[in-house]
Structure 1
């Protein structure tokens, strides 16, 4: 059994989450429940493999051989029932790096790229920094969950969109897109010849009542229109080791992408990232199953505690995947800056403001619940107490 309840001190480890608090929140007395890494140790098999490699003591250039590629092929088949080929794989340090490369490869300056907002902040940055134009298809929030506005989706594609970044499962709203939703998005992208860049980094973090389907697995035609980005880093808490892969079944697209990666200097991964990737995919399944039980229990605790103990002032959006809860704060009646200030100064928790994910995210907050129950209870109780103090003022 893995240990998901020990509280580890992560301060002074160069942790972005814990050692960057003053810079991000202008104070050092908030409990960090923001950036998407977990406060859990990686699987023992991963740490053992890293220790064994460290004991060897020589860290020369490291290849990604057929055994490592096979571990990826087997994992994707095991988790997602998708039979990919080793030759379809390309590698880069991270999904954002890969997306940046794909945008540079397959679109030109001033081209339009579609996002479904609210959505992961770096998507906006890589589009705009590349001198492309962001086109937004706002997801529809019905008070319980988010749905796709397909009429608007098609209208936006008709404006000359060249590529669509699909976030699947979606961060931050926690949706696992159904096969019908994926098929309709793919149909429209095929109709208007729009490339699909599928960020599926959270694919393994899906709760038991839901099933993640890689959009490229739906048909050969869709696969040829799609480039898929995956990584073990979110799944097994390996983000600092920087290892990700790209799945491209279309040979011409893959060759173009590999050429661009080489031009940008990405010819290999770091030694420890490769070791961790292989160990996680070969030996991490049981750890992941235990993790998802812990995250589901945490999810239920937060939803029940926040909604009940604030008399419904805060509402937790139904979470189907990831460990990132999306909380509706509209009833607090704060503007966006006041909401951020309230969470930092009154609740003393460091969360991700919803506005960071686009205008559609205003008056929401994102909470990272991948932490021991002791930490989670402390953070959630701080929020509850701060909200309840408002009614006394």
Structure 2
């Protein structure tokens, strides 16, 4: 089946966060929004058809996530990542961000030290500070336009006493796909210093350019003991508004501690839309998924080529539809960069400092949109540069 990703779609009447917050975030609605991580592309028609069919039934009551729901995830993960999961190792969650906040509370105590590698997805930091934990920010090392983990600093922080690590695999905002050697070293240090890991792997399916994602917990018995894995069909199939995600616990004790935080809140089961959309996505969305990845690769290559002679450097990426733009040759001051992109170019990329101090001089661009939108964005950026 051919999918038309080149046709722009009007989202103005849909209460879209991406478009509805333009005035608030950028100071104007006259801007192309390329910020928040959802796609301006139509999801798989097989998912839409399944939702329409289910909504024709006139009763929308409480809904189980039964065998079909979990088997869809089991089969998808096995096919995609060669990882075997059992039904009882899953726990439903309406979203990974709230789940991370609850996991931090379940797996650490007030004022205990929780680490991140920055720049990284902003809600990691917000959840750590918001739950009364002590943030330990370990900057990644930028070597030749490519991030690496600073294991020496990590171990020094572990020696001081670290309780938990919130990890992004693949990395957001850079699209870095961690290799097995790096992940094994990370696990060994966490075992040596008694540190558990929350691994956000929501972008796991969106590995590109023949890269391979390795679920951190799948690597060894240490991984199974130490890691809670966060996954969802939402980024893969553009279902972010349907509140469907899940956690994978190979360690029963960690799962028990988490459920003690959420059972009484009824946050361990979902609704009709979440259930229907995941089953359809994982069971019928393969062709769409393969095509949309090719489209992302094409868009990424387009941006890299178009900006190759500019002062903006695109960081090497192997995953996600998000590009990490090094704009430090324009300015290292993000206020100046925001003025440049928002007021002069009228392109709403995301402020790099939202990903921590290590994001100074950077901006994040979402390329999951029709090519014509990217062409207009590049045109505006080049005119502003000139």
- Give the conservation status (yes or no) of the 8 Å contact 1:117–1:357: yes
Q: CA deviation at 1:267?
A: 3.8
Q: Which residue of 2 aligns with 1:76?
A: 77
Q: How does 1:170-249 map to 2 (within 5 A)?
A: 170-249=171-250
Q: What's the counterpart of residue 347 of structure 1?
A: 345
Which of 367, 381, 385 in structure 1 is aligned with 2:383? Answer: 385
1:37 counterpart residue number:
38
Equivalent residue, structure 2, for 1:324: 322
- The answer as to 2:336 corresponding to 1:335 is no
The alignment status of 1:131 with 2:127, answered yes or no, reads no
| Correspondence for 2:372 | 374
Moved over 4 A (4+): none
SS at match of 1:158: helix
Q: Distance in 1 between matches of 2:332 and 2:169?
A: 30
For 1:117, the equivalent position in structure 2 comes to: 118
Instruction: Please name the residue that 1:143 is paired with.
Output: 144
1:256 offset after TM fit, Å?
1.9
Aligned-residue CA RMSD in angstroms? 1.0
Normalised to the residue count of structure 2, the TM-score between the two structures is 0.98
Deviation, structure 1 residue 334: 4.8
2-structure distance, mates of 1:173, 1:337: 21
Residues 12, 19 of structure 1: 8 Å contact kept: no
- Structure 1: segments with no counterpart, 5+ residues: 389-393
1:265 deviates by: 3.1
Three-state SS of the structure 2 residue aligned to 1:378 is helix
Match of 1:7 in 2: 8
Secondary structure of the structure 1 residue equivalent to 2:75? helix
CA distance in 2, matches of 1:298, 1:246: 31
Task: State the Cα deviation string for residues 107-126 of structure 1 (Å, max 9, x = none).
Answer: 11101111000000011111
Residue 353 (structure 2) pairs with residue 362 (structure 1): no
- Separation of aligned partners in 2, 1:338 and 1:265: 45
In 1, the alpha carbon distance for the partners of 2:253 and 2:108 equals 15
The whole-number CA distance in structure 2 between the counterparts of 1:45 and 1:208 is 26
Gaps of 5+ in 2: none
Aligned to 2:155: 154
Give the total of aligned pairs. 385
Deviation at 1:270, TM superposition (A): 1.9
The question of whether the paired residues in 2 share the 8 Å contact of 1:330 and 1:364 is answered with yes
> Which residue number corresponds to residue 282 of structure 1?
283
Match of residue 304 from structure 1: 305
TM-score, normalisation: structure 1? 0.96
C-alpha distance in 1 between matches for 2:121 and 2:254? 25
Displacement of 1:132 after TM fit? 0.6
| Cα pair 1:107 1:162 within 8 Å, conserved | yes
Q: 1:209 to 1:102 in 2, by over 3 A?
A: same
Measure, in 2, the Cα distance between the counterparts of 1:102 and 1:82: 22
Q: Secondary structure at the match of 1:330?
A: coil
Using the alignment, how far apart are the partners of 2:72 and 2:354 within structure 1?
Answer: 36
Aligned to 1:266: 267
1:351-383 C-alpha deviation (Å, 9 max, x unpaired): 111111000000100000000101111112111
Contact between 2:188 and 2:222, CA under 8 Å: does it hold in 1?
Answer: no
User: Equivalent residue of 2:10, what SS?
Assistant: coil
2:211 and 2:320 map into 1 onto residues whose CA distance is 12
Give me the whole-angstrom Cα distance separating, in 1, the residues matched to 2:268 and 2:186: 33
Decide whether aligned partners of structure 1 residues 208 and 307 sit closer, same or farther in structure 2, where only a CA change above 3 A counts: closer
What pairs up with 1:32-71 in 2 under 5 angstroms?
Answer: 32-71=33-72
SS state at 2:363 partner: strand
- In the alignment, the residues of structure 2 paired with residue 102 and residue 42 of structure 1 have an alpha-carbon distance, to the nearest angstrom, of 30
Q: Distance in 1 between matches of 2:264 and 2:156?
A: 36
